[in-house]
Amino acid sequence: LIGTSRICADMAASFAKEAGFNPKVREEAYDISASELVEIISNDVKKAKGKTALIYHGESRVQVTGEGKGGRNQHVALLLTEKFAGMEGVCVLSAGTDGRDGPTEAAGALADGASLERGSQLGMKITDYKTRFDSYHYFKSLNDLIFTGPSGNNVMDIQIILTDL
């Protein structure tokens, strides 16, 4: 095989190591709900010490009930925005390896411990965006969407969480 989600995650780990982080790659690709993935990531971040890169690969599921815009990766980033609110030393990337996330031109989104506060300063209530499944407009307002264009490959999704706790 020339491309799998694990190969992609291992390459990300290699770059993280070069940047001085201790990489930890999830062994198996996940196939779970976005909220389950967020709980796993949140629990792993609580255990992280020092400069750590937590890397996850697979595809999550969301049951969209609102009329907003976004994809599962942007939704994962939105849920993690709330989990990591106020935390210094945590940064999240959640993106599709094909360069698209759901029905959007964005590949995913970035979030950190200040994302919730930045949104609040703009008058945005994260609960409204979660209820509408409108992660795209939340991150667009923060200028934190990831735009890569089509990659020509699709080896599932990737989440990279950099910590320095």
Instruction: Encode the chain (165 residues) as per-residue pLDDT tens digits.
Output: 568 899 999 999 999 999 999 999 999 999 999 999 999 999 999 999 999 999 999 999 999 988 999 999 999 999 999 999 999 999 999 999 999 998 999 999 999 999 999 999 999 999 999 999 999 999 999 999 999 998 988 889 999 999 999
Please state whether beta strands 22-25 and 51-58 pair in parallel, antiparallel, or not at all (unpaired). Answer: parallel
Round to whole Å and give the CA distance between 126 and 78: 8
92: left (phi over 0), alpha (psi -120 to 50) or beta: beta
Cβ(42)–Cβ(80) below 8 Å: yes
Q: What is the pTM of this model?
A: 0.95
